[in-house]
Structure 1
């Protein structure tokens, strides 16, 4: 009997067929989908921002950087950017604070907890457009429920145009944005709370720490991954939010209640190339915002230790 292993016999061929491709057959479809759905539209968006395009959609040649110059010279852009920053900060911060409180509540045992958890899903399950339009009709100047109730209670003298005035339209749109953002964020933080071992709290109790010290030194640090996930996703979603604002005010009057995303859509009717330029700026702002946030939050701090 030969003692030579079959693996060392001369002429033995290595793995062939799909084995040579490694994980490519598995990640290939996902990679192709990313290229078609993400990278190709981004390329087309950037390319369009350097073209002259008529209102009917015909390309009239290269525009160079003219569309960007026109965009940055637009007198409405500074106020739109400021409004976008305020919109994002207020909605995300309010959502995170309320969601953290709700997650703490739902993590406790109390009668009816299951029902209240189910009820919280309702704003998330409903369409954003449907929710926004529902609030829009509630705030309607002539037939809205809010005006009727407040007038009957003597709180206002006459019907008020809540969405026609930016000073009242912004708070109401922020309220709706927080309302629809709470379910996802709350369940994300609740999942994080439920991964914290009870032994950690028992050890803290033995050490004599009070409730507030336990929350600051144990709960919040261990909840950090869930907080970061909720924060990043909310930053992206709120910054790019379009259905709520467009359904309630269409960014008007003029662009007084528009964010950069809504402003981009408003520009589409006047100049497609300038709208594409605004899209590129918007995309860059999102990337920079998320990168700066992750750096400030020291996402990789735990991995580097």
Structure 2
């Protein structure tokens, strides 16, 4: 009796195993049809959460009239944009933003290229100078900016004290009290805090250049300048473009340096578009959101134009 019962059980198990194989294969095929989606899905979700959603909210907010206290007076269409573009301060702010971006990025790239070239050489103490370069990067930008503001203070600033002692000035200067004095210092501090990232990016690019290329150039009789302009710079192009694009975006959107040193003043004379956006938000959130949309559009257009002109995806 037990033998007869065991036989059907074995047959049933075999049938179940056969039926399970297509199911498992079907599950694997379904997963394969999804391709890389299970792997990139979390990244897409994160982008939607931290980029797309805030941008959508920003655009929606710019169509509402909202007071500085957060009171929403309802849909206002393009009213906030009309108010923004009729603001007499906007032209001055955008002009200074353009000058600020070009000068800070330009000085940063030129100085960083020289520093990267220096740090790519062998010399005593190179390791320690590389460490020292990290300090402006490791410190908070707002803390660095406030430190420079106190250094430039008219009453307690160390710069005035030193220059008075050396007889370079006859009276204490208010270095951040007016735009003419403040703007050069703002550019200096912005370049100072931008150098570490840019220098290390270019240094990484320099260290990927094969030594055999330089050996071949020397054998062919190329001079140092010919080697630099015809070999080093072309091979450094990918790293240079990455550093340049990231600096353009960061400097254009920079807030801590200007806010920490002058808060955009006096009036709005040292305000870039990002600082101006924050100032507008204290009285009109809708207009501030409109300024944010303008900033976002300018950054996108600026980067696309740069990539188009630089032909970033073409081989050297």
Shorter-chain TM-score: what band?
over 0.9
How many aligned residue pairs are there?
294
Superposition pairs of residues 1-305 of structure 1, within 5 angstroms? 12=22, 14-16=25-27, 19-20=31-32, 21-302=34-315
Q: Deviations over 1:118-157 (max 9, x none)?
A: 1100110000011001100000011100011111111111
- Checking the alignment, whether the CA contact within 8 Å between 2:93 and 2:269 is kept in structure 1 is yes
SS at match of 1:60: strand
Measure, in 1, the Cα distance between the counterparts of 2:71 and 2:81. 19
Measure, in 1, the Cα distance between the counterparts of 2:243 and 2:55. 25
Runs (5+) with no aligned partner, structure 2: 1-20
Q: Which residue of 2 aligns with 1:6?
A: none
Measure, in 1, the Cα distance between the counterparts of 2:46 and 2:22. 38
**Cα RMSD over matched residues?**
1.5
Q: Deviations over 1:250-289 (max 9, x none)?
A: 0001110000000000000111100000000000000111
Q: Which residue of 2 aligns with 1:3?
A: none
SS at match of 1:116: helix
Measure, in 1, the Cα distance between the counterparts of 2:68 and 2:282. 7
| Greater Rg by CA | 2
Measure, in 1, the Cα distance between the counterparts of 2:149 and 2:72. 38
Measure, in 2, the Cα distance between the counterparts of 1:125 and 1:55. 34
Once the two structures are TM-superposed, the CA of residue 23 in structure 1 deviates from its matched residue by: 2.1
Once the two structures are TM-superposed, the CA of residue 12 in structure 1 deviates from its matched residue by: 4.1
Measure, in 1, the Cα distance between the counterparts of 2:282 and 2:210. 55
Runs (5+) with no aligned partner, structure 1: 1-10
Query: Quick check: 120-129 or 292-301, which moved more?
Result: 292-301
Measure, in 2, the Cα distance between the counterparts of 1:183 and 1:52. 42
Structure holding more helix per residue: 2
Measure, in 2, the Cα distance between the counterparts of 1:104 and 1:139. 32
Q: Deviations over 1:137-194 (max 9, x none)?
A: 0000111000111111111111111001101101101111100110010000000000
Over 6 Å off, 4+ runs = none
Measure, in 2, the Cα distance between the counterparts of 1:149 and 1:58. 50
Query: Quick check: 20-29 or 251-260, which moved more?
Result: 20-29
Measure, in 2, the Cα distance between the counterparts of 1:77 and 1:188. 35
Once the two structures are TM-superposed, the CA of residue 53 in structure 1 deviates from its matched residue by: 1.3
SS at match of 1:195: coil
TM-score calculated relative to the size of structure 2: 0.90
- Checking the alignment, whether the CA contact within 8 Å between 2:67 and 2:283 is kept in structure 1 is no
SS at match of 1:27: helix
SS at match of 1:223: helix
